[in-house]
Structure 1
Amino acid sequence: MRRLSLLLPLALLAACQSGGGGDTAAEVAPAIPTMQRLVQQLSSDEFEGRAPGTAGEKKTLDLLVAEFSKLGLQPGNNGSWFQDVPLVEITAKNVSPLTFTGGKATVSAAYGPEMVVGTYRSDGKRIDIKDSPVVFVGYGINAPEKNWNDYAGVDVKGKTVVILVNDPDYENEGLTGPFSGRAMTYYGRWTYKFEEAARQGAAAAIIVHDTVPAAYGWNVVQSSWTGPQQVADSANANADQSAAIGWISNDKAKALMASAGQDLVALTAAARKSGFRAVDLGVRASVAFDNQIRKHMSKNVVALLPGTTQKDEYVLYTAHWDHLGRCEKAPDGDDICNGAIDNATGTAALVALAEANVKAGPTTRSQVFLAVTAEESGLLGAQYYAANPVFPLAKTVAGVNMDALSMAGPAKNVVVIGKGKSDLDTYLERALAVDNRVATIEPTPEKGFYYRSDHFAFARKGVPMLYFEGGDDLISGGRAAGEAAAKDYEANRYHGPKDEYDPNWNWDGVAADLKLYYRVGRSLATTTEWPNWVTGDEFRAIRDKSREGAARK
């Protein structure tokens, strides 16, 4: 395991107390009034939920450019503040029920309360899945390196596959098992399951919802998957993807299995074991819907604070500016998913951190403040930047990602998503030591947060990225209070119309966490070190190869 020199931490800790790295200026605390003003504005009804390709996007971009310009930052993309991200907005219309026939009884699931369905295909053609044979493929995983293939011995071309969410071993108490036990791997994410189903030639892929392994209730699925959906544009209009993708409620999935003479609980238990073989359910699926297509150019915002002596080396700050726009109505009729916590807080934090760094003065390395689009649609803006970087990834030192800052109040800890993966843990530990706080592992690794925010797009390309959440061990109320706050947000506000600005929020925890982002970023921007992934990490070889290429140039 590679770690930074043991001689560095004391020197850097002292420097961190005065700003970070080799910085001798006094620490400049990011301004909470700036945060409050911007979060309130970004999450107002005027911005209509900040969906890509809407008037809300333009208002968001205009606001960010005005703020970065006022601070004296430079447009980061060859004189432009923007990086174009080609997207396609697809809105399902005239959606029929998803019906299963040929079993003991016809099972019909209604669009919205019992199933959601859409498509990645962007040619605008009507999707019509008719009498498609249905195959239960367990967790839908094909992992040769783990000697695991849920598609072994079955041909699903042109068929409908029904898939379980998460990994086969998510219920393990510890972090050991073929798929890391409780810690979700990428094989557990819904994105992977749709990708693999497409590779197998499935006409339709339907995931069975279950609140615990999915990490959110059906209300989140319904609000997130109905209405306009964003997909990446492609030359082939995503013709290689399954025609229909979606989710089915757990109750309807149980009814489907019963109609097919099967039991969902028993099938799930079988699917958790190595050697599971897919089950032809002997029923046929039908669903149809029209697609309203609108191609548009969304935008990432790229702001640059140039460095001094190492200006061609870059430290990255990321946050997604988008949210869901108009979504499923709340009981009071409110249909704007304002996204105050998710992620007006992170977007505002970008500006507050830029403001603090400008006040503190330039660092040796350049700092990039990147607000990305379409995170809610599958990290599309971050993935586009990672595939088309404005600044070479081999010259990008590392980054910190900010998503959904916690308003639960000050905590004794922070929860690190992906703790132990990279040398960035050392930077964070130094920053925490200033305030006598600690870093802890995530208490719910089965929720797969590592794969659910923008840092993942950069990690896959080898760039070390730090992502942490507000602590769950609150100064007032301890872990019980932290857990209660997290559950309340997830159940009542996450991806819903009630994620709104609250003038009574306690900002003390955010203020403390912003100082950590500042210290870590400032340290990275004022050292000559190149942090890496630890030996054996899945991203280490990618980083090593890119750095070798940079050294040869």
Structure 2
Amino acid sequence: MKLRLTLLAASALAVSTAATAKPAPIPVVKPVPVSEQLLEEMVRTLASDEFEGRAPSTPGEDKTVAYLIEKFKAAGLQPGNKGSWTQDVPTVEITAQNSAGLAVTGGKDTMLFAYGKDFVAGSYRVTPQTDIRDAELVFVGYGINAPELGWNDYAGIDMKGKIAVILVNDPDWAQEGEDGLFKGRRMTWYGRWPYKFEEAARQGAAGALIVHDTFPAAYGWNVVESSWTGAQYFVAKPNDAMDQTAANGWVQQDVARQIVAAAGQDLGQLTAAAKQKGFKPVPLGLKASLKFDNQIRRGQSRNVIGVLPGKKRPDEYVLYTAHWDHLGRCKPNAKGDDICNGAVDNATGTAMLAALAQANVKAGPADRSQVFLAVTLEESGLLGSEFYAQNPPFPLNKTVGGVNMDALMPGQPARDVQVTGGDKSDLTRYLKAAMAEMKLTLAPEEHIERGYYYRSDHFSMAKRGVPMFYVGRGSDWVPGGKAAADAAGGAYNSTDYHQASDEYNGKWDWSGIVQEGELYYRLGRMLAMTTDWPNWHPTDEFRAVRDQSRAAKTKPGK
């Protein structure tokens, strides 16, 4: 994860016919303080060298899972997966090797581009070799199909056997502010690369190549190259992901210019056209070939799940989530320490799960059931939460929403809350109510173009329509103000993030984390006590999937 002191107000729910219904009142929640003693005890233990950095599929996982089960039992929860405390998460690791490069033909000369330097590509499919030969290249603009916005970059073309050439981000990214069909500078889900690859697969494409551009991507080519040239991790699927494209990848912007020029086109002109509603895909009259081997390794890890059954509507659910995993053994620091203990990331969030369970049990069961989910493999691409979302013990169309917790920063309380993702849903009113009760203000979000909304475990649920808060106190700390918050966050990001120095410190100030615990408690408890089913706003990218999910629930026999 990336350290985020934020809130993700991702929300959905309710059939479309209920969109105009008057929402239920927000319950008044009397907070039960989370235990600072339990938080400190658990972080000290989980971040100890004995747990070896909590890497999945290691002895550190065994110790972590056993410890979490012990704490969930002590808090008063029940096993959350059909009588079991755990959910097995099968994974597959795929490493592309022996790339033959990217060959493009059909222009004046054959062009050959080098793997790593000019392009990167891999496969989601569990197959020993990827071999695409003479596939037609089609420029599909931003590669977006958004019926709720009347936008379809694939309109009128059959992509079967073809490779989609796709621009990064979405059509409004260069605008200042948030005006525009795709929310201006703020990145939407349609701007993220996983969406683009998924949509290309839904369109039947053989492959997808995203054109890299540093600002709208939010990182340079060096990040793309380092991220895509090593092992890639996925949730194992029964069909070995054969419904996905054969190859997904990126090309340097200059490479894309050369390819488009060979087709007699100009990338700048095509990009300008792609920003306009009504854009139609442009066949380039060129063909591409790429071939590489896939080294495959299968593994397994575990999610830990506890539940506090509801007293009135036990078949409606509210989630609390946090990832328990970290990096395990890592590059030794100057002192020779090779254990990345992950104290802040994310022993803090994991400990908060048990502290919130304890507080909710003490308050007594809510009307709805509350699920406490410690997921694995967040550091490998949100795989634990993704597997839960694909195989939920508690149906997602009966899950009201929840709270995700990741990397809670030690330090003072704050006067404000930061929000990532903007006002996407009706769930905003729950946040406003909690802020009013706690006398907190709303701080402006930073770097809205980077799409942080889509980069933590909440998103595995959100993209399937389930609303998830991702909450952190803001940057106006008491005392110290913004300077204190910036100093703490800056020091962690520059020195400790994903390093052996992310260790428990007995001198930590826990007051800010305890304050966040109160906010988590209020938000989750409000959702667990209301009869309301908040929905996304009508033009939000996740409105349709939640409407479909909730509509299916209302059919006979559901």
Which TM-score bucket, shorter chain as reference?
A: 0.7 to 0.9
Partner of 1:161: 164
Over 3 Å counting, the alpha-carbon distance change for 1:120 and 1:325 in structure 2 is: farther
Deviation at 1:303, TM superposition (A): 0.8
Q: After superposition, what is the alpha-carbon deviation per residue over 1:375-420, rounded to whole angstroms, capped at 9, x for unaligned?
A: 4555443344344332344544432222343457543221234454
CA contact (8 A) 1:222 1:328 kept: no
5 Å-filtered alignment, 1:482-497, equals 497=499
Task: Note the residue ranges of structure 2 that are not aligned, 5 or more in a row.
Answer: 1-19
Partner of 1:29: 34
Deviation at 1:297, TM superposition (A): 3.8
Secondary structure of the structure 2 residue equivalent to 1:403: coil
Partner of 1:446: 449
* 1:515 matches 2:521: no
5 Å-filtered alignment, 1:67-466, equals 67-95=71-99, 97-98=101-102, 106=111, 108-111=113-116, 115-123=119-127, 125-130=128-133, 132-152=135-155, 156-218=159-221, 220-222=223-225, 224-250=227-253, 253=256, 264-279=267-282, 285-308=288-311, 310-323=313-326, 341-376=344-379, 379-406=382-409, 410-440=413-443, 442-466=445-469
Secondary structure of the structure 2 residue equivalent to 1:319: strand
CA contact (8 A) 2:76 2:358 kept: no
Q: After superposition, what is the alpha-carbon deviation per residue over 1:232-251, rounded to whole angstroms, capped at 9, x for unaligned?
A: 33333222222221234556
Residues in 1 aligned to 2:437 and 2:392: alpha-carbon distance in whole angstroms? 34
Q: After superposition, what is the alpha-carbon deviation per residue over 1:270-306, rounded to whole angstroms, capped at 9, x for unaligned?
A: 4322344445556654543322223344332111234
| More off after superposition, 335-344 vs 58-67 | 335-344
Deviation at 1:83, TM superposition (A): 2.0
Residues in 2 aligned to 1:159 and 1:484: alpha-carbon distance in whole angstroms? 50
CA contact (8 A) 1:417 1:469 kept: no
Could you tell me which amino acid in structure 2 is paired with residue 545 of structure 1?
A
Could you tell me which amino acid in structure 2 is paired with residue 67 of structure 1?
K
Deviation at 1:437, TM superposition (A): 0.6
Partner of 2:532: 530
* 1:501 matches 2:506: no
Q: After superposition, what is the alpha-carbon deviation per residue over 1:115-168, rounded to whole angstroms, capped at 9, x for unaligned?
A: 443211013x21234565544332112334434333345555434333222111
Task: Note the residue ranges of structure 1 that are not aligned, 5 or more in a row.
Answer: 20-26
Q: After superposition, what is the alpha-carbon deviation per residue over 1:349-372, rounded to whole angstroms, capped at 9, x for unaligned?
A: 212322333455544543210122
| More off after superposition, 160-169 vs 468-477 | 468-477
Partner of 2:473: 470
Q: After superposition, what is the alpha-carbon deviation per residue over 1:319-374, rounded to whole angstroms, capped at 9, x for unaligned?
A: 23345667899999999876555444322321232233345554454321012234
Partner of 1:545: 551
Percent identity over the alignment is 55
Q: After superposition, what is the alpha-carbon deviation per residue over 1:55-100, rounded to whole angstroms, capped at 9, x for unaligned?
A: 5544432332233234343211222111233332223334455565
Secondary structure of the structure 2 residue equivalent to 1:469: coil
Residues in 2 aligned to 1:156 and 1:363: alpha-carbon distance in whole angstroms? 50
Question: How many corresponding residue pairs?
Answer: 533
| Higher RCO by CA contacts (8 Å cutoff, separation 6 or greater) | 2
CA contact (8 A) 1:30 1:518 kept: no
CA contact (8 A) 2:140 2:166 kept: yes
Over 3 Å counting, the alpha-carbon distance change for 1:396 and 1:161 in structure 2 is: closer
CA contact (8 A) 2:103 2:110 kept: no
Over 3 Å counting, the alpha-carbon distance change for 1:182 and 1:99 in structure 2 is: same
The root-mean-square deviation of aligned C-alpha atoms, in Å, is 4.2
Q: After superposition, what is the alpha-carbon deviation per residue over 1:246-281, rounded to whole angstroms, capped at 9, x for unaligned?
A: 234556556666777766555433432234444555
Could you tell me which amino acid in structure 1 is paired with residue 145 of structure 2?
N
CA contact (8 A) 1:28 1:360 kept: no
Residues in 2 aligned to 1:60 and 1:35: alpha-carbon distance in whole angstroms? 15
CA contact (8 A) 1:329 1:335 kept: yes
Partner of 2:9: none
Deviation at 1:533, TM superposition (A): 1.8
Could you tell me which amino acid in structure 1 is paired with residue 93 of structure 2?
E
Partner of 2:12: none
Residues in 2 aligned to 1:224 and 1:291: alpha-carbon distance in whole angstroms? 16
CA contact (8 A) 1:162 1:207 kept: yes
Over 3 Å counting, the alpha-carbon distance change for 1:57 and 1:253 in structure 2 is: farther
CA contact (8 A) 1:105 1:259 kept: no
Residues in 2 aligned to 1:203 and 1:330: alpha-carbon distance in whole angstroms? 44
CA contact (8 A) 2:332 2:500 kept: no
Residues in 2 aligned to 1:507 and 1:217: alpha-carbon distance in whole angstroms? 36
Over 3 Å counting, the alpha-carbon distance change for 1:205 and 1:520 in structure 2 is: same
Residues in 1 aligned to 2:536 and 2:163: alpha-carbon distance in whole angstroms? 40
Could you tell me which amino acid in structure 1 is paired with residue 84 of structure 2?
S
Secondary structure of the structure 2 residue equivalent to 1:288: strand
Over 3 Å counting, the alpha-carbon distance change for 1:475 and 1:162 in structure 2 is: farther
Residues in 2 aligned to 1:200 and 1:429: alpha-carbon distance in whole angstroms? 40
CA contact (8 A) 2:327 2:342 kept: yes
Partner of 1:65: 69
| More off after superposition, 332-341 vs 226-235 | 332-341
CA contact (8 A) 1:128 1:289 kept: yes
Residues in 2 aligned to 1:493 and 1:114: alpha-carbon distance in whole angstroms? 32
Secondary structure of the structure 1 residue equivalent to 2:402: strand
CA contact (8 A) 1:424 1:465 kept: no
* TM-score of the superposed pair, with normalisation by structure 1: 0.79
CA contact (8 A) 1:224 1:324 kept: no
Over 3 Å counting, the alpha-carbon distance change for 1:144 and 1:464 in structure 2 is: closer
CA contact (8 A) 1:93 1:290 kept: yes
